[in-house]
Structure 1
């Protein structure tokens, strides 16, 4: 038997494609070596389900794992995420059997397959465990079908360390930073983005290669409210007391009834409200007590629109608002002991005749489930994921982009300020607003034309309404001459009454179900409409051809791809959305989440084919893995203009960025506006101004800085008069954004060249400081700037955490603070706390009115002592793709803290229009010599630079 085992090891190590049957014990799995990995087949095993487990080596740090049941008749899914040109760059790798494992080893990573269960685990280059699958069982693959498509429902559990931080997974709006022990639904929905990439502080990632709606993390089903033991207001067991009052006269009770379920989340749930009650004029209270059969931390998951306040044990826990047609969500953590009652009162003021409220809850995590992270997907051909590791979290993100595509560099003007509004109704309105920015000398590069620039019935035509936009070509030309770029809203939606509907219908490019259902939108008299099918290559081409003819040829610069979930109708349930979506390549259940990816693909490929050297910019409300390769940035959807929504954006945006998808923004100021701000009191007016000032301060440190929203108008001069603190603050934030352009654009260059990340959770740079793991209200902008937005009204300081492992300088004053402490940081009305890490180099350019107003002939170079530092200044032509052919330049700056020497390296590369000579004014910031951007700056030294290296002893 020993000789048989040696023959087996030799076979798999030295290339025999199939181990001889005589070398395999009766219950031993069949092992087949392939050119790029190994396949292990279990059949009739007493310790494993019948399955085939395949490991495919992509690079030394990436292994593709697929597990499929034997004997199935499920077609493989189309691969939409992984780049066609995926390069396998693995060095030598080996296979060997050791004990009950088959070990596949690369230079940096070991994957082991249990020969008993088929479970795979991963070890780093030092043999330390990273991640382990839990054994697959009968629940892993459950046969299912939809629309003639046979597939499996897929579940896979992983064992993770309970001390690691887990991030990514797209954009979610519950204010959660670390997904350890949490449940996340990967779903495309207004304000929600599902990206199936998980990133760990233990320097690995999982790209879950599945396109269907997926639950991740703690996937145990959420429980309905009735799973609690409920007590009414009067103490009767079995329900809460629901009281429907007249909102204008709360003493008038219209109806009181028992309710043990609060689950009104979609339009289809509306009939379950009392027939005799008009929600639009009601105030609803739910009162009583909750008692749980479990002890531990419970999480109540709320879906809501209108005004909602929640009290637990007489303590106000939440006070929220969302407009009726766009429900929001939040979680409420509640520590409970089994059998102990807690008073609860929910006060709900619906916002309109159709409003939404739902409550479910997550049980405490039992000890047997702690340390488990799972994926549960509605449809797939098998367990399918890529395991990625690296020396840092940024390395892991680089592996993700190796698989899914490098992010192109956005045009330089995209890193200026964007002004938008819902909406500019005429070309005169848009142009006069643009020129008011120029008159006031508020820096700006980009204007945005939102929806309904077409005639009312003609949604999808991309034709301007000639009554309101009589000369769109002239409008665009005048904007360009005044150094503006114009982004325009383009929906993947076409009205049945549209002038292009017949063309798209007859070519089979539409989803017809919405038309046959006669589902109408909310415009004018209401129009039946549907969406085109971007999974159909010819439909993608046809959609771009229409955009090109009607918009691009008029000079439009950028594309705002709204409702790209697709949002076939607000507030219909997910099953109804699936019935409308009929992808050309398969069922909607299997490919539900990939619509925005294919939509962006059509626009990107279409423009690059039409105009190969003009950079594409796409802003999209929904996003999927790989979409970064199509020059797409995401924004966080139709959030509300409230402080709580501003705070929730921080964790949402940082987790989106840590999903490997680098460009993100939001509506600075929020989109949906309470009616109290339409005709505000003096107090409300001042809150509105403060809210917007704080939001601009935050937005200035995002990859894309964009203001947008419903009425009141969102331009700084429409928010507050000149001289007001809010006006001054917004001007300062925009001006600082432009001065930081050398820093920001260099970060963008690093995204393309090195797979860097601009918007960073604190754990990315300080993974060993456990205090950073759950910080969801601060972030790093690039490697150097610690940003701490102010998300409460009326405050002039906020607590910030300064991570351990670095010292920190106040950006404005230069005052030094040690790391590893919580600090009550000053936050005057016009500033948010902003700190710089020791060992940083930050270039500031000149004041600008627009990004290409003048080259940065003089750069103020802030060098922050306390640690060694480096920075690479990246420059190129700004608007074309010549950088892909190497036409760009970099200048490397390094600072040695021990010697106080700044080294400016030789310039590498060149491009047309590159500055031959420039001046660097060096500001040396030390703990004992504080200097900041708001102080009287003392230049330490001045270097005239012509491309040759210099060494400067800083004094």
Structure 2
């Protein structure tokens, strides 16, 4: 077994017989430079002025792989300079300088215009070790980096450790229920590192170094990204791995589910109840076993007894102006036609998966022919009925009775061990690509339990898995979602109320006061997640399970669901910035207030878009909650209208109907109409809330609400600018157009203060009412 380790002693022996830098040791290439350092070849490729790819291979070997995550290619003949000294060679772009040490092969990254630099740790931090057994011919790999003690780091997917800052953590990056493994982190020092590997990987941060160590690889392959903010790094990840498509307007509304609706009549009754109660609803979710028994698991066909008229069910949901999600799994029961066809084609993976003892097997998601077969059944049995969205459960996937030899199994791309973490990426991607080929009239919407780098390009919204219904678990979801967002994947949510709620059933279930408090606080948080979705087992979660109109809990739940709909114009515009400019919906305070030294490790608050600070209540029975308001802005209490200075902790009274919300001074919020579903009313009479205290900008985005015509330019943007000193709101010329666009509309302008327009209702004084026909106007307030 060979071990290529860049230890100082090993390389001293090699280098003592070699001359220092000369034309034989490194060379400029079309995309960067390559250098030989003893037994290691190092290649740098320029992907943009701020992104450098690093490849390390044993001497004379070439990396042969097409990344599953990275879809960008390096620039051809990019603008960069190469220079050298006796001991180093340098690659310089407009943003970065990368130094390769010609003695030890270590890399150093320098940010132009800054004293900051990032080192690969030495000695012994680069390891390429021959694999044995089923992975023979590949390598186990490791790379260490030297971080400064004051740096905070974010990312690594979705981890349930309750921390925003991942310094000092050792994390096993392997997909699992409630855990999403993405080998990427970004630092408050202004850079990110994407370790492009799909095998189980240990991330370790210690006082000595920060490292990635992966079980199987073709070689060391990672990307260094320089940025001045978390948004810059996220944008770089999207540049490399794909932009996030815009989801249809309806999916940003409220979505109801439970484990599980057992008949089409039960499912339809839920939609009817919401409409009767006039509580907004846009999505209803059909969970497992609509196909019947476990040997027919995931048959992608509706059981004739419990779902006798599935097409009529879908049409009836649509007639009530709602949309239907249907679950699909990656595994198939042994009595399904999919199982037989995939098994006959050697496209099943033979380890135990859910459900236990049913003989179900997952398909080889890495095989394009297997993905074709999967979609052919899903399309014929489900999508052709008019279903709107997918609930892709177990997408990590479930792996029961796990044995190490299970990972020796060959997939289309190599051993399962070598591609394990990319399972959800390939599974979700197959469905997205196939649906896009069938129709562009309906945007792909995928709710899924796991993710990998690049999955944002597939219309995927990841939920945090089957989490437990308790306060400690609830609190952990906030930093888990923030770190997930900071990997570059913007759409994330949780089961509102937690999945496993069995401990509350003996004391009344949804009528249990303890569960009611937990559920209410969780739903308040859910109002400000990228997707608002109630789900769980043991206790049904429909709003009418908690009481009737006029009851305290019912009224609070209704209040926040309706608040979500008031915020739809703001949220849809934020989602457009995600698609167009690589922005994020859930944002740590660090994203916008990095100059404030107090925010870097605050993981129990976040920004919803750029303007709203959210502080979920994650402890039972409390009467007040401390909230930090970042410096660099003043803040307006959403509920009272009081203006508060930043850089201070405040105490907010939190009766059960109040979750602390603060709007940044210098914000413009469009306030949507009172509706029962997202598209019930046009936005022809929008209320525009102006929160004074600083200048503000906002771009109102509109399109046809579904389909992909926006990709062809069928959308409009209206730019609002608030000049705080002049107390003037400017509405610019409308840009763009689309079929059915409003050419004439009213804007009710409201200047917010403590006496006007606090809270979610519209009982406020309109400061100015203006008619807008697409031409620029200035409004003095």
1:699-727: CA deviations, max 9, x gaps?
00010000000121110111233322221
Is contact 1:568–1:577 with CA below 8 Å preserved after alignment? no
1:659 aligns with 487
Aligned-pair CA distance for 1:836:
0.6
Provide the rounded CA distance (Å) in 2 between the counterparts of 1:604 and 1:486.
17
Larger radius of gyration: 1
SS at match of 1:188: coil
1:417-474: CA deviations, max 9, x gaps?
0000100000110001110000000100000000011120211311111110000000
- Equivalent in 52, 62, 68 of residue 51 of structure 2: 62
Aligned-pair CA distance for 1:148:
4.4
TM-score (norm 2): 0.94
Aligned-pair CA distance for 1:202:
2.3
2:645 aligns with 818
2:325 aligns with 487
Provide the rounded CA distance (Å) in 2 between the counterparts of 1:844 and 1:645.
32
Between stretches 703-712 and 129-138, larger displacement belongs to 129-138
Q: How many residues align?
A: 763
1:212 aligns with 199
Is contact 1:689–1:720 with CA below 8 Å preserved after alignment? no
2:225 aligns with 388
- Equivalent in 667, 672, 679 of residue 852 of structure 1: 679
**Is 2:397 the partner of 1:563?**
no
Query: How do 1:411-450 residues align onto structure 2 when only pairs under 5 Å count?
Result: 411-450=248-287
1:105 aligns with 92
1:362 aligns with none
**Is 2:673 the partner of 1:836?**
no
Runs of 5+ unmatched residues, structure 1? 1-22, 44-49, 219-364
Between stretches 555-564 and 146-155, larger displacement belongs to 146-155
Provide the rounded CA distance (Å) in 2 between the counterparts of 1:680 and 1:384.
54
Is contact 1:693–1:727 with CA below 8 Å preserved after alignment? no
SS at match of 1:889: strand
Aligned-pair CA distance for 1:626:
0.4
Query: How do 1:447-462 residues align onto structure 2 when only pairs under 5 Å count?
Result: 447-456=284-293, 457-462=295-300
- Equivalent in 466, 487, 491 of residue 638 of structure 1: 466
TM-score (norm 1): 0.77
Query: How do 1:355-754 residues align onto structure 2 when only pairs under 5 Å count?
Result: 366=207, 369=208, 372-456=209-293, 457-514=295-352, 521-522=355-356, 526-569=357-400, 572-573=401-402, 575=404, 578-579=407-408, 582-675=410-503, 677-680=504-507, 685-754=512-581
**Is 2:153 the partner of 1:166?**
yes
1:234-278: CA deviations, max 9, x gaps?
xxxxxxxxxxxxxxxxxxxxxxxxxxxxxxxxxxxxxxxxxxxxx
Is contact 1:697–1:729 with CA below 8 Å preserved after alignment? no
Is contact 1:185–1:213 with CA below 8 Å preserved after alignment? yes
Provide the rounded CA distance (Å) in 1 between the counterparts of 2:280 and 2:102.
64
Aligned-pair CA distance for 1:61:
1.0
Is contact 2:63–2:219 with CA below 8 Å preserved after alignment? no
**Is 2:184 the partner of 1:197?**
yes
1:571-625: CA deviations, max 9, x gaps?
x34636525x532110112111000000011100110111133210111101000
Provide the rounded CA distance (Å) in 2 between the counterparts of 1:51 and 1:795.
59
Provide the rounded CA distance (Å) in 2 between the counterparts of 1:782 and 1:683.
32
SS at match of 1:679: helix
Provide the rounded CA distance (Å) in 2 between the counterparts of 1:149 and 1:746.
50
Provide the rounded CA distance (Å) in 2 between the counterparts of 1:884 and 1:607.
16
Provide the rounded CA distance (Å) in 2 between the counterparts of 1:384 and 1:943.
56
Is contact 1:59–1:89 with CA below 8 Å preserved after alignment? no
Aligned-pair CA distance for 1:929:
7.2
1:303 aligns with none
Between stretches 813-822 and 108-117, larger displacement belongs to 108-117
Provide the rounded CA distance (Å) in 2 between the counterparts of 1:934 and 1:817.
22
Is contact 1:29–1:42 with CA below 8 Å preserved after alignment? no
Aligned-pair CA distance for 1:876:
0.9
Aligned-pair CA distance for 1:172:
0.8
SS at match of 2:420: helix
1:171-229: CA deviations, max 9, x gaps?
011111101222222211000001122122222111111111112232xxxxxxxxxxx
SS at match of 2:432: helix
2:9 aligns with none
Aligned-pair CA distance for 1:152:
1.7
CA 1:145–1:882: 2 relative to 1, 3 Å: farther
1:360 aligns with none
Provide the rounded CA distance (Å) in 2 between the counterparts of 1:406 and 1:575.
36
CA 1:930–1:555: 2 relative to 1, 3 Å: closer
Runs of 5+ unmatched residues, structure 2? 1-17
Is contact 2:510–2:539 with CA below 8 Å preserved after alignment? no
Is contact 2:126–2:144 with CA below 8 Å preserved after alignment? no
2:717 aligns with 890
Provide the rounded CA distance (Å) in 2 between the counterparts of 1:576 and 1:700.
44
Provide the rounded CA distance (Å) in 2 between the counterparts of 1:585 and 1:29.
36
Is contact 1:460–1:491 with CA below 8 Å preserved after alignment? yes
Aligned-pair CA distance for 1:502:
1.2
Provide the rounded CA distance (Å) in 2 between the counterparts of 1:26 and 1:906.
59
Aligned-pair CA distance for 1:28:
8.6
- Equivalent in 25, 32, 39 of residue 34 of structure 2: 39
SS at match of 1:140: strand
Provide the rounded CA distance (Å) in 2 between the counterparts of 1:146 and 1:946.
70
1:796 aligns with 623
Provide the rounded CA distance (Å) in 1 between the counterparts of 2:628 and 2:354.
50
CA 1:935–1:872: 2 relative to 1, 3 Å: closer
CA 1:949–1:391: 2 relative to 1, 3 Å: farther
- Equivalent in 134, 141, 150 of residue 137 of structure 2: 150
Provide the rounded CA distance (Å) in 2 between the counterparts of 1:143 and 1:137.
16
Provide the rounded CA distance (Å) in 1 between the counterparts of 2:510 and 2:756.
42
Provide the rounded CA distance (Å) in 2 between the counterparts of 1:947 and 1:492.
49
Is contact 1:813–1:933 with CA below 8 Å preserved after alignment? no
- Equivalent in 72, 82, 101 of residue 70 of structure 2: 82
2:15 aligns with none
Provide the rounded CA distance (Å) in 1 between the counterparts of 2:704 and 2:21.
66
Query: How do 1:939-954 residues align onto structure 2 when only pairs under 5 Å count?
Result: 939-954=766-781
Provide the rounded CA distance (Å) in 2 between the counterparts of 1:634 and 1:775.
23
Provide the rounded CA distance (Å) in 2 between the counterparts of 1:908 and 1:785.
26
Provide the rounded CA distance (Å) in 1 between the counterparts of 2:325 and 2:68.
27
SS at match of 2:56: strand
- Equivalent in 112, 130, 135 of residue 122 of structure 2: 135
Aligned-pair CA distance for 1:404:
0.2
Provide the rounded CA distance (Å) in 1 between the counterparts of 2:618 and 2:394.
28
Provide the rounded CA distance (Å) in 1 between the counterparts of 2:596 and 2:720.
28
1:792-824: CA deviations, max 9, x gaps?
112232111111111111112211111111111
Query: How do 1:290-309 residues align onto structure 2 when only pairs under 5 Å count?
Result: none
CA 1:26–1:444: 2 relative to 1, 3 Å: closer
